[in-house]
Structure 1
């Protein structure tokens, strides 16, 4: 299936990591020019190099999405390389595991700025151009915690859920401009983040990590963790003209893991 992304420019945040990198590679495979943005310049370069070696077009940018003072300059870098942003993939890191109660106000403010305020600000910066061209995709990667709150991820569950209300509201505002806004959420995708969370759970419960991983895998109807590429390919479809009637939605890529309707 041709996703018609050959003339599109995609900006992917967190693209030096597991999920962001998979999204960047899937978009590039479908022909998009991809800006690989990450706070870790070396990690961004690794993803961009993999894309170019496979015959795709990519630009690595060291970009801390939480630093709003650089937004305008970085977007100019994107425009100079590939043109204005057609596809924006908001993908930020998450806070450390914490309970919901007892967290310092400074912690809430820190991660709100990193995970919510930054996403909204960058989206606002690219929307005028999308509206002018009557086409755009805003895709925000969150967490399964927005559907079924994950124990000991109190800050993450709370702040990521704020992005769901924002994205749904935005979808209604920009739909007639040819722009869609959707949320994607991973279940258990085999990335370093999942390994870390399994290790943390094993430590808290004084159990072998292999036991925790086996227990987690057994709870997934398809019987395995997802591959990062499966996540990336779903995002690539949502980014394409073929997904023009999907907006204001929350798309689960979880192998049936979440039991909620």
Structure 2
């Protein structure tokens, strides 16, 4: 399939590891140039080098926390200046702590809002004017399948990320006439450190081994395995592609069939 992404510029947040890294490399494989950000400069630069060496694309990297609004704006402006355009923006940030509701603090709720909703607003406000100028753009938010099916240990994520779906729908309706699509990808359990954290907490709470907790989880996933970061990245790239131009305001789950709703 011809994605139409060659020589486009894709911003990928939290791209130093996991799904973010896989997404950056997937865009690079399609010939897109990359503007990458994460909190740690060393791992971020390693991803940029790998992408440039393997696929011959241009890269731009800045290390910062995506909850910093001014840093987001400065990064997007610098990326546009350095690479000449901004076509795709993939928002991403680490998930909130996995814990029961009564164990959460107001500080954790504030941090979850800053990282997992406010940062998306910041990126959208920064990239949309550039996309409007060129009458083409793709925003893809990365959340979790918990926006459709809450997970008991993830009350912070269940709550905050549901708001992202409202934002995605709102932006899709407003900016669709200008050739800009806005969609959300919701991974289920994926082979990342985040899933290990959740399984460790689940095992401790139930007084069982990590292996038993993992086995029990697999029984709830119809495909009987976790997704890979590369599989999630493929969904993101497809939503950003030219053939997906009529898909907007949607949430695409990459969860192995875990969500049981219609």
TM-score by length of 2: 0.95
| Contact kept in structure 2, 1:15 and 1:23, CA below 8 Å | yes
The answer for the alignment partner of 2:253 in structure 1 is: 252
Partner residue, 1:166 = 167
Cα distance in 2, alignment partners of residues 46 and 79 from structure 1:
22
1:85-140 deviation digits (Å, cap 9, x = unpaired): 11000111111112234633332222212221121022111101111110000100
- Mapped to 1, the partners of 2:191 and 2:209 lie a distance apart of 18
SS of residue in 1 equivalent to 2:153: coil
Change (3 A) 1:19 1:60: same
SS in 2 for 1:36: strand
Distance 2:61 2:212 in 1: 38
SS in 2 for 1:54: helix
1:75-154 map, 5 Å: 75-101=76-102, 103-154=104-155
1:89 match: secondary structure: strand
1:20 corresponds to: 20
2:205 is aligned with 1:204: yes
2:39 is the alignment partner of 1:45? no
Unaligned runs of 5+ in 2: none
How many pairs are equivalent?
Answer: 261
* Distance (Å, rounded) in 2 between the aligned partners of 1:191 and 1:105: 27
Per the TM alignment, residue 39 of structure 1 is displaced from its structure 2 partner at its CA by 1.2
In 2, Cα distance between the equivalents of 1:34 and 1:212?
38
Take 1:56 and 1:21, find their aligned partners in 2: how far apart are those partners? 17
CA deviations on 1:167-190 (whole Å, 9 max, x unpaired) are: 111100000000000010001211
- Correspondence for 1:190: 191
Report the TM-score when normalising by structure 1: 0.95
Separation (CA, whole Å) in 2 of partners of 1:108 and 1:218:
31
What's the secondary structure of 2:101's corresponding residue?
coil
**CA 207–102 in structure 1, closer or farther in 2 if over 3 Å, else same:** closer
Change (3 A) 1:56 1:208: farther
Structure 1 residue ranges without an equivalent (≥5): none
State the alpha-carbon separation in 2 of the partners of residues 91 and 246 from structure 1.
Answer: 20
- Asked if structure 2 preserves the Cα contact closer than 8 Å seen for 1:29 and 1:56, the reply is no
CA distance in 2: counterparts of 1:225 and 1:107, whole angstroms: 27
1:6 aligns with 2:6: yes
In structure 1, how many angstroms separate the alpha carbons of the residues matched to 2:179 and 2:77?
23
